[in-house]
Amino acid sequence: MGNWAIVIHGVGCHHNKKLPSDANRMSAEFVEALKQAGHTITSATFTHGGEDNITDGKAYIEMRELYEKG
């Protein structure tokens, strides 16, 4: 039990409309899975030339769903 960090650098799809394999969506879902498993997440971001705060993965996915409806 102790502190940890996960850093992943990659190239692939992100920020598409409702694409389940988008890296930003998948990373937010993973953050939520960690929380559900009892981990404390102090900060989580997704960078892509900009930066998305995905610390609250559920809220991030909900926001993306609203944005992607348009």
| Cross-strand bridge partners of residue 52 | 46
Dihedral angle of Cα 24, 66, 19, 55, to the nearest 10 degrees: 20
**Residue at 38 is within a domain:** yes
**Residue at 46 is within a domain:** yes
* Beta strands in the chain, from DSSP E residues, in sequence order: 45-47, 51-53
Q: What domain count does the chain have?
A: 1
**Residue at 28 is within a domain:** yes
**Residue at 54 is within a domain:** yes
Tens place of pLDDT for every residue, the chain, 70 residues? 899 999 998 999 999 998 999 999 999 999 999 999 999 999 999 999 888 999 999 999 999 999 888 7
In terms of residue numbers, what domain contains 47? 23-69
**Residue at 12 is within a domain:** no
User: pTM (2 decimals)?
Assistant: 0.78
**pLDDT given for residue 69 in this prediction:** 86
